[in-house]
Amino acid sequence: MKYSMIVDINRCSVCYACVVACKNEHVGNPYPPYSYPQPDRDQEWIRLMEEEKGKYPYVKLYPIPVLCMHCNEAPCMEACPIPDCIYRTKEGAVIIDSTKCDGCKSCISACPYGVIFPNEDRNICQKCTLCMHRLEQGKEPACVEACPSGVFLWGEESGLEKEMKKREAMPLYREKGTKPRVYYVGLPTPTLAGHVIDGKSLMDMPGADVIITDTRGSSMRRKSNVAGNFSLDNLKMDTAYTVKIEHTGYLSKTIENVLLDIEYKHLGDIKLFKAS
């Protein structure tokens, strides 16, 4: 049975419970045959990468929990010169065998995610084990259990597939092509956002249609949410977009030539006026 994980960063409130839970689980505690104790400092088997985008006062924070991706095509496994030192468990976890590892750090250089750490005292390399010792007891990984916000969706790979499709979950740094087992929802992509309000009452306008079109004519459509906000992601940087906002009973509004010059571009308050 192989496990997988969806990390929904839209729900993350930057509380660091997952990061410290990992330390609580692993620092000083060995879980043979999967891991030596994590040292007191300088190893974050899961870290929180706070990616800040946008310009004051329209800021967007993407808190991205980064742990070992337990890649299906793991560069660390290929890079390791010692036979069977890095192996995969039937649960899908990529494990460094501490009894075989000699601390050569080849895996560290090979890993595109920066989630393997040297332990100079013991001459080994260490990383997240997907909490194999807990999986064997039928528990979820410590970081998953610690999250108060439901950021981590954890389960059997096959059971998560539908959800992954539905939520357009993506690996972090997809371009690295390592086929991770950890998928993300809400990763930072070039985004255009705005707040639609009634030009007279200045109140939020939910349900407005926002259509953006690039210079080649391909377009995307979104509805503004309960607070009048819209956000279109997965756009292209340095591209000019035409933004059209429509709402029944209102004159539609077109903003030409919106250049996506920063990764999170917010158009501020956009006023629509009644048709009469």
Residue 61 in contact with other proteins, rule: CB under 8 A: yes
Q: What's the closest the beta carbon of residue 216 comes to other proteins, in angstroms?
A: 31
Among residues 91, 169, 158, the alpha carbon closest in space to that of 131 is found at: 91
Would you say 189 or 225 has its CB closer to other proteins? Answer: 225
Which of 67, 197, 232, 270 is close enough to bind other proteins by CB under 8 A? 197
Residue 67 engages other proteins in binding (rule: CB under 8 A): no
The reply to whether 120 sits near other proteins by the rule CB under 8 A is no
- Within 10 angstroms of residue 202's Cβ, the number of other Cβ atoms is 9
Smallest separation (angstroms) from other proteins to the CB of 45? 12
> 36 or 113, CB closer to other proteins?
36
* Residue among 6, 7, 21, 124 that touches other proteins (CB under 8 A): 21
Q: Closer to other proteins by CB, 178 or 224: give it.
A: 224
Q: Which residues bind to other proteins, rule: CB under 8 A?
A: 10-17, 19-21, 23-25, 27-30, 32-33, 36-37, 39-42, 44, 48, 52, 54-57, 59, 61, 63, 99, 145-146, 148-150, 195, 197, 201-204, 225-227, 229, 269
